[in-house]
Amino acid sequence: MKILFATSECYPFLKTGGLGDVAYALPKALSAMGEDCRVIMPNYGTIKKEYKDKMTHLFSTTLKVGWREQFLGVEYLKKDGIEYYFIDNMYYFDREAPYGYFDDGERFSFFSSAILEILTRIDFVPEIIHCNDWHTAVVPVLIRTKYKWEKQFANVKTILTIHNLRFQGVYPPSVLSDLLGLGTELLQDFGFEYFGNVNYMKGGVNFADMVTTVSPTYAEEIKTEFFGEGLHGLMQKVSYKLVGIINGIDYSINDPRKDKDIPVNYGLKNVEKKYEVKKALQEELGLEIRQDVPLIGIISRLTDQKGFDLIAHAMEELLKNDIQLVVLGTGERRYEDMFRYFSFKYPQKVSSNITFNGPLAQRIYAGTDMFLMPSLFEPCGLSQMMALRYGSVPIVRETGGLKDTVAPYNKYTGEGIGFTFTNYDSYDMMQAVHRALELYKDKEAWRGIVLAGMRTDYSWKSSAREYLDLYKRLST
Ligand code: ADP
């Protein structure tokens, strides 16, 4: 099948979170199954020169954005068998970060329009356009309205995957005519209307042929007021076309047997070597070098979503235990400062790394004993799967993808691969931490849970198959 995967980020060109991982791994898994899945993303100024140098320029033209004509260039790169298209416009995309600008609404409506515009000019007409999050959510609307008359789009089906419903892209009604060239009739419930404004995500959900989220539990949760971010009514309305498919992780990148970012490789057969990684990590981070102390890892965006107010509340109590904590993340200032404070107060016990560092993340997955992820909500979560793959036992709240991927440990049967709690409550979280610390003392049982986690299969194999079945169902 011919599939175009439209995304605002894609590893290794640009990644800020899970979407970047998915945009790399899912097309790769689909290609391995013999499908022609290509990826389209913005040509950000921060993409490394080694990739930019290899891109070939396909063509340039202009695109109407309201009353303006903007430059539109198309670069092309084939990497590891996957074909990538990069949409060029320095004014929109040559910035320090991919998101967080006053004109994000304009930048991504430009990108979305550009996707359809270039499809009328390149020799590739997909059967499916797979859009992701609000950044490309207007594509399903454009294709059924403004581009309705383009013959080659008549049979193209669209899927919109919601990676995180918190981010919806809400802008004033003027964007319809100013940026998208659409009429105000779309400012209604069947279109974009959201409290008098334009909501890109809502438009996409209404117009896409199929809507998916990244775990079955999250697909149910977003139909409720607590998780629905103001769109729970819409999610209930579209439940006939809403499904949850769990993400996977790329098993060739995330492989403790081959990972070049970790100092010692290990696998199921020689898992004790993991302790050499732990020692090296303690040394690298200036923590006390001790094999017997449980080392807990956190790798995350430092935001409310990830449960940091629970951690903030429990930090002193957590650190009363004989543990070490390593944190890698950036985000809200109050959490960054909180971790800085605790590593200042307990330099031998807490290491705070307030930065984004891919190789260090791999060393933390590999070098830690436990991985803490007490999210308030979690559409899927990839970090817990990476932790499992590297033998770091997850401690998670039972929500979204965390619930779907981390089976709780049962001390009577020895089944389960992590420690979980239900209520969003720091006391409950600490109970789960204490259960983990208790089991850690029993070396044999601990080895069992580590190996059970490493044996789970969260590769893309079965999820890619589910997407393919969906594509096929849609296009027949
Ligand atoms: P989300 O997409 O909500 O941020 P996920 O768990 O789905 O969360 O994916 C997060 C991805 O980003 C993982 O690959 C994780 O290792 C990576 N990551 C998060 N923060 C950092 C950081 N500070 N440095 C390096 N990698 C990070």
**Is a pLDDT exceeding 90 seen at residue 66?**
no
Question: Which residue among 253, 382, 390 is best mutated to probe the pocket of ligand 1, counting the most ligand atoms within 8 A of its Cβ?
Answer: 382
Name residues whose C-beta falls within 8 Å of residue 300's C-beta, 6 or more positions apart in sequence. 306, 308, 328, 329, 331, 373, 383
- Is 257 within the bounds of a domain? no
**CB burial string 204-232: b at 16+ within 10 A, e below:** bbbbbbbbbbbbbbbbbbbbeeebbbebb
87 lines ligand 1 (CB under 6 A): no
214 lines ligand 1 (CB under 6 A): no
- Cβ contact 208:239 at 8 Å: no
Q: Which residue's alpha carbon is at the smallest distance from atom 17 of ligand 1? A: 17
- Measured in Å, residue 152 CA sits from the centre of ligand 1 at 38
Amino acid at 407: A
- Are residue 91 and residue 170 in the same domain, yes or no? yes
- Are residue 182 and residue 309 in the same domain, yes or no? no
- Is 364 within the bounds of a domain? yes
CA 96 to chain centre: 20
- Are residue 334 and residue 392 in the same domain, yes or no? yes
pTM: predicted TM-score of the whole model, two decimal places = 0.94
Q: What is the mean pLDDT of residues 85-93?
A: 97
- Are residue 183 and residue 229 in the same domain, yes or no? yes
- Are residue 98 and residue 219 in the same domain, yes or no? yes
**Is a pLDDT exceeding 90 seen at residue 9?**
yes
Q: Which helix (H) or strand (E) holds 285?
A: helix 274-285
The tens digit of pLDDT for each residue in 173-218 reads: 999 999 999 999 999 999 999 999 999 999 999 999 999 999 999 9
Phi, psi of 305, deg, nearest 5: -50, -35
Please identify, by atom number, the ligand 1 atom nearest to the C-alpha of residue 247.
7
Q: Give the pLDDT confidence score for residue 380 in this predicted structure.
A: 97
132 lines ligand 1 (CB under 6 A): no
Specify the CATH number for the domain of residue 174: 3.40.50.2000
**Is a pLDDT exceeding 90 seen at residue 472?**
yes
- Is 385 within the bounds of a domain? yes
- Are residue 158 and residue 230 in the same domain, yes or no? yes
- Cβ contact 394:412 at 8 Å: no
- Measured in Å, residue 306 CA sits from the centre of ligand 1 at 11
Q: What is the mean pLDDT of residues 268-272?
A: 97
Q: Which residue's alpha carbon is at the smallest distance from atom 26 of ligand 1? A: 358
The tens digit of pLDDT for each residue in 296-325 reads: 999 999 999 999 999 999 999 999 999 999
356 lines ligand 1 (CB under 6 A): yes
Stated length of the chain = 476
Q: How confident is the model at residue 476 (pLDDT cuts 50, 70, 90)?
A: confident
- Are residue 61 and residue 147 in the same domain, yes or no? yes
- Are residue 32 and residue 48 in the same domain, yes or no? yes
- Are residue 53 and residue 133 in the same domain, yes or no? yes
Please identify, by atom number, the ligand 1 atom nearest to the C-alpha of residue 21.
14
Question: Which residue among 10, 166, 167, 300 is best mutated to probe the pocket of ligand 1, counting the most ligand atoms within 8 A of its Cβ?
Answer: 300
Q: For all residues of the chain together, what is the average pLDDT?
A: 97
- Is 468 within the bounds of a domain? yes
Please identify, by atom number, the ligand 1 atom nearest to the C-alpha of residue 19.
2
**Is a pLDDT exceeding 90 seen at residue 468?**
yes
Q: Which residue's alpha carbon is at the smallest distance from atom 13 of ligand 1? A: 383
Q: How confident is the model at residue 54 (pLDDT cuts 50, 70, 90)?
A: very high
- Are residue 181 and residue 322 in the same domain, yes or no? no
| DSSP-derived secondary structure for 19-43 | HHHHHHHHHHHHHHTT-EEEEEEE-
- What is the percent of the chain where pLDDT is above 70? 100
Q: How confident is the model at residue 17 (pLDDT cuts 50, 70, 90)?
A: confident
The tens digit of pLDDT for each residue in 217-265 reads: 999 999 999 999 999 999 999 999 999 999 999 999 999 999 999 999 9
- Are residue 47 and residue 86 in the same domain, yes or no? yes
CA 269 to chain centre: 31
**Is a pLDDT exceeding 90 seen at residue 413?**
yes
- Is 16 within the bounds of a domain? yes
Please identify, by atom number, the ligand 1 atom nearest to the C-alpha of residue 355.
23
330 lines ligand 1 (CB under 6 A): yes
- Are residue 451 and residue 468 in the same domain, yes or no? no
358 lines ligand 1 (CB under 6 A): yes
**Preceding peptide of 12 cis, ω within 30°:** yes
Q: Give the pLDDT confidence score for residue 267 in this predicted structure.
A: 98
Q: Which helix (H) or strand (E) holds 275?
A: helix 274-285
Q: What whole-number distance in Å separates Cα of residue 302 and Cα of residue 328?
A: 9
- Is 61 within the bounds of a domain? yes
- Is 284 within the bounds of a domain? yes
- Is 176 within the bounds of a domain? yes
Structure tokens at 452: 């059970």
The tens digit of pLDDT for each residue in 92-145 reads: 999 999 999 999 999 999 999 999 999 989 989 999 999 999 999 999 999 999
Number of domains in the chain: 2
Q: Give the pLDDT confidence score for residue 392 in this predicted structure.
A: 98
The range of the structural domain enclosing residue 446 comes to 268-458
Please identify, by atom number, the ligand 1 atom nearest to the C-alpha of residue 358.
25
